[in-house]
Amino acid sequence: MKRWLGLVAMGWVAAAGAQDSPEAAADALWRALSHGPGSGADRAALERLFLPTAQVYGLGRDANSPLRQRSAAEFVTAQAEPEAKPFAEREIHREVRRYGRFAEIFATVESRSGDAAGPADYTGINSLHLVEQDGRWRIVALYYALERPEQPLPADWRQRSR
């Protein structure tokens, strides 16, 4: 009986980490990136989310900032570094397109350090490209662009869709 209960508990733990939809994978990404003061992102959760060959691309707030490209491993390592301030990612808008085992999620995300109730430090768009393998959705590529003061995001990208 104890062995069976242990196997059931292990199944629940495995299911809790499973990303059975593109939306669940996106939710897991924002949770994994968010952390309290003195810690970093959840490395193990991020490693489960990204394919080993995944790439991360990003543009900063400056209109002339170059496109930054990193492997998922480099991105995860950087995000897992402890930081003095807490950090929270909160999705405020989401559009999902799916075809079979391929999905794209276009999301507007607010990033905060410090006061979670205060204004966002950054707002930006994120485009996640995902593939379903063996019953779980994993990130193939992540592209983000931070909102620039001279080019605000369209109002409909700020409307709560969740």
Domain boundaries, the chain: 20-157
Instruction: Please say whether the beta carbons of 148 and 61 come within 8 A.
Output: yes
pLDDT value at 9 more than 80: no
Residue carrying structure tokens 């204004």: 119
User: pTM (2 decimals)?
Assistant: 0.85
Residue carrying structure tokens 């966002």: 120
Question: Tokens for 154?
Answer: 């369209």
* CATH architecture of the domain with range 20-157: Roll (3.10)
Question: Tokens for 150?
Answer: 């001279």
DSSP 150: T
Provide the pLDDT confidence category of residue 162 given band limits of 50, 70 and 90.
low
Buried b vs exposed e over 15-40: b needs ≥16 C-beta within 10 Å? eeebbebbbebbebbbebbbbeeeeb
Residue carrying structure tokens 């079979």: 100
Provide the pLDDT confidence category of residue 14 given band limits of 50, 70 and 90.
very low
The string of pLDDT tens digits covering residues 69-117 is: 999 999 999 999 999 999 999 999 999 999 999 999 999 999 999 877 7
